[in-house]
Chains A and B, each alone.
Chain A
Amino acid sequence: MSVKVHLHPYLTEGGEAQVELEGKTVGECIKGLVARFPAMQTKLFAKPDKLHGYIEILVNAQPTVPKELAYPVSDGDEITILVFLSGG
């Protein structure tokens, strides 16, 4: 089962903008993402299993808050990780 994950430039720092991952939930896919790119752990998570407030996750353009990590995904779904840029 493959899920396409679109990554915000804040996370990638010029690296791959999208990756294919496996998982039945957003959390499982994110776990795979962090395993591949360990530097993303601190950018994504404020605490283990708690995303930063500036992170939002869409599945097929649908916001997934408040239980993003438990949100189910299936083959062909697209996850987009947004980062709120709060500066002005």
Chain B
Amino acid sequence: MSTPLTDQDLVRYNRQIILPDFGEEGQKKLRQATVFIAGAGGLGSPVSIYLACAGIGHLVLVDYESVDISNLNRQILHWEEDVGEKKVVSGNWKLKRLNSTLDVTPHATRVTAENVGVLLDGVDLVMDCLDNMESRFILNETCFRKGIPFIHGGLRGLMGEVTTIIPGDTPCLECLFPRSPERTEPFPVFGATAALVASLQVLEAIKLLAEFGELLTGRMLYIDGKQMQFRSIRMKKNPQCRICGGGV
């Protein structure tokens, strides 16, 4: 059962509550939500910040890395003073100061086949902010098994991509990319590209959790920042998919 919003909530979130499609009911749904953020780097920084600002109730922040000075061109959750610190420690500190009503559960660990089931317990939504395919595929498979929506974001240079995966309804990540792409590190990126992709992921999360608007389901949105063009590609399930079998 949902608890009413406080007077402070009504003031703090007024500019989104006055959106007719969203309203107080939408705000309550955000407050009740637990969102898993896989990666506290280029995408995970703005994703976690905007979710915290929007009034999400609980963030589970997962990243095993420590802050490096080369992260600071894009990973806005981390500052010069955080170099050497675990990203989830740095992130937890900032996010709690940004919104003191937010619960954050930080995990300084890599997402693995062994721990993913426990990590995703009680999670309503997964934000894919990772930079490696192995963990993405593990999350994709577990989200499908547990029926957890999964909002994928990816980037390179001035290009980005976003899609929203609803288990059983849409193609999953492995429908499209069953082979693990070769690692290409370090990949080029501007912070603004990460911010753009992350903002679109957060808009998808808010709409999905508050149940309004149209989602990027069955579509991949491609962003070409160099030519400043956006394009949405329609995608169907792959009947031969190892994970979702397409027709499930």
> Interface of A with B (CB < 8 Å)?
6, 8-10, 14, 17, 46, 52-54, 56, 58, 61-63, 65-66, 80, 82, 84-88
Contact = CB atoms under 8 A, between A and B. Distances in A.
Contacts of B43: 88
B155 interface: yes
A20 B231 CA distance: 19
B156 interface: yes
A9 B227 contact: yes
B173 to A, nearest CB: 9
B40 to A, nearest CB: 10
B180 interface: yes
B32 interface: no
Contact of B233 (A46, A80, A84, A85): A80
B178 A87 contact: no
B91 interface: no
- Name the interface size band of chain B: 35 or more
Nearest to A67: B240
B165 to A, nearest CB: 14
Nearest to A15: B227
A82 B176 contact: yes
B235 to A, nearest CB: 6
Given A54-B177, A63-B235, A80-B233, A88 B220 contact: no
Contacts of B180: 53
Nearest to A80: B233
Contacts of B104: none
Most chain B beta-carbon neighbours within 10 Å: one of A14, A62, A63, A86: A86
A66 B154 contact: no
A53 B235 CA distance: 18
B44 interface: yes
A59 B154 CA distance: 23
A66 B176 CA distance: 10
Contacts of B42: 87-88
7 contacts: A9-B229, A10-B156, A54-B177, A63-B175, A84-B161, A85-B156, A88-B155
